[in-house]
Amino acid sequence: MNTFQETEKSLRSRVLDNCTIVLVEPLNAGNVGSAARAMKNMGLERLKLVRPVELDSECEKMAVGAIDIIERAAHYDHLDAALKEENVVIGATSSRGRTARRQIYTPRSIAPLVWDYARHQRVAIVFGPERGGLSQDQLARCQYLLTIPADPAAPTLNLAQSVLVVAYEIANFEGEIAAQQTQNLASHAEREMMFEHVQEVLLKVGFLDPNNPDHIMRSIRRFLGKADLTPRDVRILRGVMSQMDWYVRNKEADVRNRFSRNREKQQ
C-alpha cells in the first residue's frame, strides 16, 4: 500500500469514526438491530438511542454480527442530551411540507458535506420514530435536513433501510469535498444554551409572543443554523444578549426610581 492509499484509508476511517447515528424513539426492537447491522456493513460504529423500545431478543436476532454496536450504544432520555457533544446535526425527514423554507439534501448530496465536516468535527445523523418521524422542534435542532427520494407510489422506507441508504452514500463517497473545514465548531450544547439565552432576552424586550415563542424562534434557529458557529461566535452572540438584558434591567430600574421620586414629590 502506497502513502496516498494509507492517507486515504486514514481519512475515511476518521470520517466514519466521527459520524454518529441517532435513533429517536424507535418503536421496533428488530428495526434497531437491523439499523445496527446496516451501520456495521458500512463501517459506522457509533450509535445513540433516545427512549428506545425495550431491546429484546428480536433486536439481537436482526443485528446478526453487529450486536457489539447495540451493546455499546448510549441511551438518552431526550434528544438534546444525545446531541450534547455533536458539532453538526443532520436530520432525516420524509415530509417536505413541514420544512418548505429549508434546503433538503439527498443522501448523495449530503455526503460531501459530511466528509468536509467529519474530518475534524463530530457529525450526528438523526432518524425519528417509524410512524411519524422527527417533530418540528426536533428538526429545528438540525443544521441540515435530508430525505431519501423514493417512488411516490411507495415513499416510505423502513428505519433500517433509511440508515443503510444514508450510511452507504457516506461510506462510498469519492467525489470532490467542499472547502476544508478546519476550525472547531460550537457543540450542540453550546448552541442550545445560546438559543435559550436569546429566547429569554427576546421575551423580556417584547420581541417574542410569550404565548407562542417557538413561531419566531424556529426562524431564528434556521438562519443561525446556516452559519458554522464557533465557540467564539456563540460567546459573542451571548454577550450581545447579556448587554441587552443589562440595558432592559437598568431601564426598568430607572423607570421605577423616577416613579418613586414623583410619588414622593406628590406627597
Closest to 145 (Cα-Cα) out of 198, 95, 199: 95
- Which whole number is the average pLDDT over 172-185? 73
* Mean of pLDDT over the chain: 87
Confidence of residue 121 (pLDDT cuts 50, 70, 90): very high
Q: All 3 cell numbers of residue 45?
A: 460504529
Contacts of 30 (CB under 8 A, 6+ apart): 58, 59, 61, 62
- Residue owning grid cell 469514526: 17
Domains of the chain with bracketed CATH = 3-171 (3.40.1280.10), 188-266 (1.10.8.590)
CB atoms within 10 A of CB 174: 8
Q: What is the pTM of this model?
A: 0.81
Over 50: is that where the pLDDT of 32 sits?
Answer: yes
Percent of the chain with pLDDT over 70: 86
State the Cα–Cα distance between residues 116 and 34, nearest whole angstrom.
28
Beta-bridge partners for 24: 50
Give the ranges where the chain is alpha helix by DSSP (H).
3-17, 29-41, 57-63, 67-72, 79-83, 107-118, 136-140, 159-171, 188-204, 214-225, 231-266
- Residue owning grid cell 416510505: 156
Least confident range of 49-53, 69-73, 158-162, 203-207: 203-207
Segment 187-210, tens digit of pLDDT = 888 888 998 899 988 888 888 888
Q: What is the pLDDT of residue 118?
A: 94
Q: What is the pLDDT of residue 2?
A: 47
Q: Give Cα separations from 9 to 16, 55, 71, 111, 132 (angstroms).
A: 11, 34, 27, 17, 38
- Which whole number is the average pLDDT over 105-124? 94
Over 80: is that where the pLDDT of 62 sits?
Answer: yes
- Which whole number is the average pLDDT over 155-167? 93
Confidence of residue 253 (pLDDT cuts 50, 70, 90): low
